[in-house]
Structure 1
Amino acid sequence: MKQSLARAAVAAGTAAAAFGLTVAPATAVPSTVWTVTPPGPYTAKNVGNVTLAATIPMTCTTSTAAGTLANGTGNPAPVATVDTITFGSPASPCSSVLGNISVVTGTPWTVVASDHNASTGVTTGWIDHVHATLSFGACRFTVTGRATATYTNSTGVLAVRSTAGELAVRNPVNCGTLVTTATRPTFRGDYLVSGGRQVVGSQP
């Protein structure tokens, strides 16, 4: 009986192949083509306060960034670099309930696009390679990782909305239990990008 069933299965497979009934491999999803208009250097400035939270909220009333926007291809794909970014200034430092905060960034960071909604003109993605060292008093620690972000064509605003777990604390020094490697920092803020840039993702 087993041999008969085996012969039947082989015969059925042979017949299916003969009639072109074999299963075709799945078609790969085409890469998204990202078009930035116009590409090139940009500057950005915060709209409203920028908040950095690592156990305690830290508020920056001023933050600026600069880099280069470029076309790209892929799912996802880089569409911009953040070559410089500052938090606070000598006249208006970032602050918290524990006093002023010093933020020193390590760049470049990368803006990555992963999805585009043509009806709303909103591109979703994240900022990668985030690296910043924060200090207040004797406490010092470094934040690394990525932060979820969206860009809206109609407003020219890059909205950073990181969630807990995207960023991590590295090398805390003299922070006690206030900031540890188990702390999950967040980074939130809106940045107005110069030049009325348009970012569009389309399938070829």
Structure 2
Amino acid sequence: MKKPIRKCGTAAGAAAAAFVLATAPASAAPSTVWTVGPSPVGVSATNSANVVVLIELVKDNGIAVTCSRSSFSGGLRSATGNPATVGTVDSFAFGASGAPCSSVLGTMSFAPTTPWTLVARDHDASTGVTRGHLGDVDTRVTWGACVFRVRGTIPVAYTNATGRLTLAGTTGGLTVVSQTNCGASAPVGASLIVKADYLLKKTGTATVPTIVGSHP
């Protein structure tokens, strides 16, 4: 049975305001050497606030989904080049047992296909912030009888001082590539926007990994 879609522009706008990244000046020269400390290192991460997912049909019109719990694990390593793959996400969970992701239209479950890549492009030495994206993102979303799949990339920024990885999804980064029984709720080509902050630690410790880019 089809359910009506109501506008969630206000909620989505508030989420975007909470997680939007300020534009930082690019490095004088693109970094080509990426030093991860320690390297290689296994990492685990949990969300520091609600993860907000927006299935965007048209501007300011979509389905807002909130995940109060989310986590991922993977690894980081030093690398060279620009862009450069400095890490992988080996498992990713939206929601948790007893804390599913919810929307005004009910709960949604996510089944990511990993690994994803963590790609670095720019490093600001004055702030210790590295910018890049999560690549090879692929997940299946189930919402009642509706099942759809999204693929693409998510822009990210990593702050060495805090271990904070900010996901700042934008329109067109992740798109619906297939769907079944979704109709106009999640049409092929629609964007799925993820906005969240995660705190990274070396697995099993309180150590915060660092990512530093340089151009020798």
Q: CA deviation at 1:90?
A: 2.1
Deviations 1:130-189 (A, max 9, x none): 011111111110111000000001111000001101111021111111110131110111
Compute the RMSD of aligned alpha carbons: 1.2
Name the CA distance, whole Å, in 2 between partners of 1:53 and 1:134. Answer: 12
State the identity as a percent: 45
Q: Which runs of 5+ in 1 are unaligned?
A: 1-28
Name the CA distance, whole Å, in 2 between partners of 1:86 and 1:203. Answer: 35
Name the CA distance, whole Å, in 1 between partners of 2:89 and 2:211. Answer: 16
Number of aligned residue pairs: give it.
Answer: 176
User: Residue 76 of structure 2 aligns to which amino acid in structure 1?
Assistant: L
- The 1:53–1:115 alpha-carbon spacing in structure 2 relative to 1, beyond 3 Å, is same
Length-normalised TM-score, structure 1: 0.84
Q: CA deviation at 1:94?
A: 0.4
Deviations 1:51-91 (A, max 9, x none): 11112011101111101100000111000100001011121
1:148 counterpart residue number: 155
Pick from 194, 199, 203 the counterpart of residue 211 of structure 2.
Answer: 199
2:33 counterpart residue number: 33
Name the CA distance, whole Å, in 2 between partners of 1:143 and 1:155. Answer: 30
Name the CA distance, whole Å, in 1 between partners of 2:117 and 2:76. Answer: 10
Name the CA distance, whole Å, in 1 between partners of 2:69 and 2:42. Answer: 21
1:85 counterpart residue number: 92
Length-normalised TM-score, structure 2: 0.79
Name the CA distance, whole Å, in 2 between partners of 1:151 and 1:83. Answer: 18
- The 1:169–1:43 alpha-carbon spacing in structure 2 relative to 1, beyond 3 Å, is same
Tell me which stretches of 4 or more aligned residues in structure 1 moved more than 3 Å: none
1:180 aligns with 2:193: no
Name the CA distance, whole Å, in 1 between partners of 2:51 and 2:104. Answer: 16
Q: Which runs of 5+ in 2 are unaligned?
A: 1-28, 56-61, 202-206
Deviates more, 1:30-39 or 1:127-136: 30-39
Q: How does 1:34-183 map to 2 (within 5 A)?
A: 34-39=34-39, 40-54=41-55, 55-183=62-190
Deviations 1:77-135 (A, max 9, x none): 00010000101112100001111111111000000000000001000000000011111
